[in-house]
Amino acid sequence: MARLVVMGGGVSGHTAATFAKDWLGDEHEVVVVTPNSQWNWIPSNIWVGVGQMSKEEVVFPLAPVYEKAGIDFRQAKAVSIHPNGGEKSDKEYITIEYTGQGKEGQTEEITYDYLINATGPKLNFGATPGLDEGHTVSVCTADHAVHANLELKKVFEKAKTEKQKILVGTGHGMCTCQGAAFEYIFNIEHEANKAGVRDNLEIKWISNESFLGDFGIGGLHMKRGGYAASSRLFAESLYSERGIPWIIGAHVSKVEAGKAHYELLDGSTGEEEFDFAMLIPPFAGVGLKAYDKDGSDITDTIFAPNGFMKVDAKYDAGAYENWKASDWPRTYQNPTYSNMFACGIAFAPPHLISKPMSSVNGTPINPTPPRTGMPSGIIGKNVAHSVTDLIKKGPDAHLHEASMAEMGAACVASAGKGLTDGTAAALTVYPVVPDFEKYPGLGRDLDYTFGEIGLAGHWIKHILHHLFIYKAKLKPGWTLIPE
Partner 1 sequence: MQRIEETVKPYDQNFTTMVPTGFVKFMRTCLIWQFIRFIAINIKMIIVVRKSHG
Ligand X SMILES: Cc1cc2nc3c(=O)[nH]c(=O)nc-3n(C[C@H](O)[C@H](O)[C@H](O)COP(=O)(O)OP(=O)(O)OC[C@H]3O[C@@H](n4cnc5c(N)ncnc54)[C@H](O)[C@@H]3O)c2cc1C
* Binding site residues, partner 1, CB under 8 A: 233-234, 236-237, 239-241, 243, 245-246, 374-375, 378, 382, 400-402, 406-410, 420-421, 423, 426, 428, 430, 448, 450, 452-457, 459-460, 482-483
Beginning with the edge strand found earlier in the chain, give each strand of the sheet holding 409-415 in spatial order.
Answer: 409-415, 423-429, 450-454
43 contacts ligand X (rule: CB under 6 A): yes
Query: Looking at beta carbons only, is 72 or 452 nearer to partner 1?
Result: 452
Q: Are 250 and 366 in contact (CB under 8 A)?
A: no
State the CB neighbour count (10 A cutoff) for residue 310.
22
Q: CB 430 → partner 1: shortest distance, Å?
A: 5
- Which helix or strand (DSSP H or E) is residue 299 part of? helix 299-302
Buried-state track 186-206, b at ≥16 Cβ within 10 A, e below 16: bbbbbbbbbeebbebbbbbbb
Q: CB 46 → ligand X: shortest distance, Å?
A: 6
**Which of ligand X, partner 1, none does 77 bind, CB closer than 5 to 8 A by kind?**
ligand X
Task: Select from 84-92, 366-374, 392-400, 433-441 the region that touches ligand X (CB under 6 A).
Answer: 366-374
- Cα separations in angstroms, 414 against 42, 112, 168, 418, 419: 14, 42, 16, 10, 11
- Please give the Cα distance from 4 to 20 (Å, whole number): 8
- The single residue among 5, 24, 30, 42 that binds ligand X, judged by CB under 6 A, is 42
Contacts 24+ apart (CB under 8 A), 89-98: 90/293, 92/337, 92/339, 94/5, 94/7, 94/33, 96/33, 98/74
**Which of ligand X, partner 1, none does 454 bind, CB closer than 5 to 8 A by kind?**
partner 1
Query: Looking at beta carbons only, is 248 or 252 nearer to partner 1?
Result: 248
- Please give the Cα distance from 69 to 76 (Å, whole number): 19
**Which of partner 1, ligand X, none does 132 bind, CB closer than 5 to 8 A by kind?**
none
Query: Looking at beta carbons only, is 373 or 422 nearer to ligand X?
Result: 373
Mark 56-95 with x for binding to ligand X (rule: CB under 6 A) and - for no binding: ---------------------xx-----------------
Q: CB 223 → partner 1: shortest distance, Å?
A: 12
Q: CB 389 → ligand X: shortest distance, Å?
A: 22
Query: Looking at beta carbons only, is 38 or 237 nearer to partner 1?
Result: 237
431 contacts ligand X (rule: CB under 6 A): no
- Name which of residues 139 to 198 contact ligand X (CB under 6 A): 139-140, 177, 180
Contacts of 239 (CB under 8 A, 6+ apart): 205, 212, 245, 246
**Which of ligand X, partner 1, none does 8 bind, CB closer than 5 to 8 A by kind?**
ligand X
The identity of residue 323, as a single letter, is W
